Amino acid sequence: MKRYQRSLIWFRRDLRLEDQRALFEACNQSQEVLPIFVFDPHILNKLSDKSDARVSFIFDVLQELQERLKKKNKTILIEYGTPEIVLPKVCEEYKIQAVFVNEDYEPSAIARDQLVQQKLQKKGIDFFSFKDQVIIAPCELKNLQGKPYQVFTPYKKAWISYLYQHQEIINNYSPQIKFLMDKDLIKTKVKSLADIKFKSNRMVDIDATKVTNLFFKKINHYHTERDFPAQAGTSKLSIHLRFGTVSVRELVRKVFLLTGKGSEVWLSEIIWREFYMMILGNFPHVVTSAFKAKYDKIIWPNNKRWFERWCQGETGFPIIDAGMHELNSTGWMHNRVRMITASFLCKILLIDWRLGEAYFAQKLLDFDLSANNGGWQWSSSSGCDAAPYFRIFNPYTQTEKFDPEGEYLARYAPKIGASPMVNYPEQRARCLMLYKKYL
């Protein structure tokens, strides 16, 4: 194993010090390690709200990590700029010989990493990437024909079988912090959100350990409570998985110690997350197009005013309005309600799923391209393993089943008495005719 005098660990979707694969490998192969996070204007410039709570979340987590590291005379270098420019410059300034990262499977991230790697290799700097944000990478699991899975159930069976056969993939990669550079050698450029022209807006708890512990105390009830939006039945770990403030390996190790339906069902949600990452990694066309090409033939009516009323939670359908008010006011929406609101937009208002996907991407604190894309394609029936086109969530029966006492509606739908903006049976019939016409 080659050992470097000084390496760099580039934090991205892995904002933690514990069980962090790239950090572990950097410390293992280097005399000194420089940690860095780069606020990328390519990403930030797409955010119109300069109080975007996701940026605030990242910055607050970085500050917390810095405070922990300062107690050991260490820190994290925080920079602003395009990575392909910043990283080579930092490597030259700090005499870096190798850069360590954790893999990212989004097409834009893959292109970014390839560009950075090319820039670094021209300067003689090595570049290493490792699996960290998933248990099983998109390229690791194939069906009997040697191709990626396209249906969830057989993928899940193969995923669980693979895990039991290769339990080393959930090993704990705990780095030795002593190898990080001393803080007096590092000059951080970004010291406040104002330095990147953003404002603080903390909307969720950044303490991943606390959120994890709270959930695992009630995980045995997960399968009976998770579908009821008025109850605190979900994990609330999605934002922590999104930004890597918790290790997915740690979560799966915890589940391994448990028995019962609750932990079994929750593990399925982890596998759904990896299924959609696998789909994105192997079929990147889903970013802009339907997985099933025939669904791209649909010409959506796309009533602009109807879309605006859906976004604002002014449809007159209480469960839809409650969900959109929850999203707009908190940056989060219960998963059951995500499915109901998505189905309503596509199959009752007859609006292109991509418009809804983009709105969720703008508002969700836990926005993850693969999961958001997969969920919307499932709801519109255009995805690989989707609901059939004739399955349409009825907002009234869904409310009766999952919010029977009206607690969720009372919390988030201020205009429960408003008249429905469309005739539900008529629009449902129009939807079926639309799909049949193009399919």
- The residues that are catalytic are 269, 272, 300, 335, 353, 376
Residue 250 contacts residue 19 (beta carbons within 8 Å): yes
Q: Which residue in this structure is represented by tokens 């990403």?
A: 43
Other CB atoms within 10 Å distance of the CB of residue 280: 22
> 84-92, long-range: CB within 8 Å, 24+ apart, which pairs?
84/112, 84/115, 84/116, 84/119, 86/38, 87/8, 87/10, 87/36, 87/38, 87/116, 87/119, 87/120, 88/119, 88/120, 88/123, 88/125, 90/8, 90/34, 90/36, 91/8, 91/120, 91/123, 91/125, 92/123
Q: Which residues contact 397 (CB under 8 A, 6 or more apart)?
A: none
Report the half-sphere exposure of 119 (CA within 13 A, side-chain side). 18
| CA–CA separation, 292 and 271 (whole Å) | 22
Q: Which residues contact 120 (CB under 8 A, 6 or more apart)?
A: 87, 88, 91, 99, 126, 127
- The closest of 58, 65, 80 to 13, measured between CA atoms, is 58
Length of the chain: 439
H or E element, residue 32: strand 30-39
Q: Which residues pair with 39 in a beta bridge?
A: 80
| CA–CA separation, 112 and 363 (whole Å) | 24
Strand 98-102 and strand 77-80: the pairing is unpaired
> What would the two tokens of residue 157 be?
């069976």
Residue 251 contacts residue 136 (beta carbons within 8 Å): no
DSSP 381-437: T-STT---TT----HHHHHHHH-TT-HHHHHH-TTTTSPPSS-HHHHHHHHHHHHHH
